[in-house]
A and B are shown apart, each in its own frame.
Chain A
Amino acid sequence: DIQMTQSPPSLSASLGETISIECLASEGIYSNLAWYQQKPGKSPQLLIYGASSLQDGVPSRFSGSGSGTQFSLKISSMQPEDEADYFCQQSYKFPLTFGSGTKLEIK
């Protein structure tokens, strides 16, 4: 199985701050990577697909980059509504696998 190592496990950021979350795949997955945001008691929501394509309706302060084994999600100018859990996920090979998540909180 492809292991997705996500870091950091938690992050505290001030409003307006730019933050990055990293995801490392145990083998190359080209650009078959997605990022999700999940708020407490809610379903995950797709933010980024294909490593860098912004899902319709997602604010442009979210961006994704990377290919192969190294990927990152950037949030430019942290907003209160961005406080949530974030997960990466590879869709290159079955079984589909997720990173362990990053809890993003407001400082």
Chain B
Amino acid sequence: EVQLQQSGAELVRPGTSVKLSCKVSGDTITAYYMHFVKQRPGQGLEWIGRIDPEDDSTKYAEKFKNKATLTADTSSNTAYLKLSSLTSEDTATYFCTTSGMDAWGQGASVTVSS
């Protein structure tokens, strides 16, 4: 059974960047596309994008193209989401999930505040 372990909560300053990790265990990360999803407090789910760790190809939702960068490290079985130029609008919980979305990380809370 594949399991996803995400990095911890982050408190970051406006205008800075943050890089979140999602470590896959129970299988090799190259067996899956890795997706990231945003959920603002009390709100619904927004798809950010996905990466194919096999060849590092990516797809993003248009609104995240200048905000998010997805990468993957096959040697550590880990996918990463980097968020740049942070504003209060980026305060949210970010989830990673596998293709088919049948396995999810526990979520990583990002709070943007001065």
Residues of A near any B CB (own CB < 8 A): 1, 34, 36, 43-46, 49, 55, 87, 89, 94-101
Interface contact tally, CB-CB below 8 A:
46
Q: List 15 A-B contacts (CB under 8 A).
A: A1-B62, A34-B101, A44-B95, A44-B101, A44-B104, A49-B100, A87-B44, A94-B59, A95-B47, A95-B60, A96-B35, A98-B45, A99-B44, A100-B44, A101-B44
Cβ distance B62 to chain A, nearest Cβ, rounded Å:
7
Determine the chain A residues whose CB is within 8 A of the CB of B45 once the complex forms. Answer: 36, 44, 87, 89, 98, 101
B binding-site residues for A, Cβ under 8 Å:
35, 37, 44-47, 49, 59-62, 95, 97, 100-102, 104-107
Besides A44-B101, A49-B102, A87-B44, 16 other A-B contacts (C-beta < 8 A): A34-B101, A36-B45, A36-B101, A43-B105, A43-B106, A43-B107, A45-B104, A46-B101, A46-B102, A87-B45, A89-B101, A94-B61, A95-B47, A96-B47, A97-B47, A98-B46
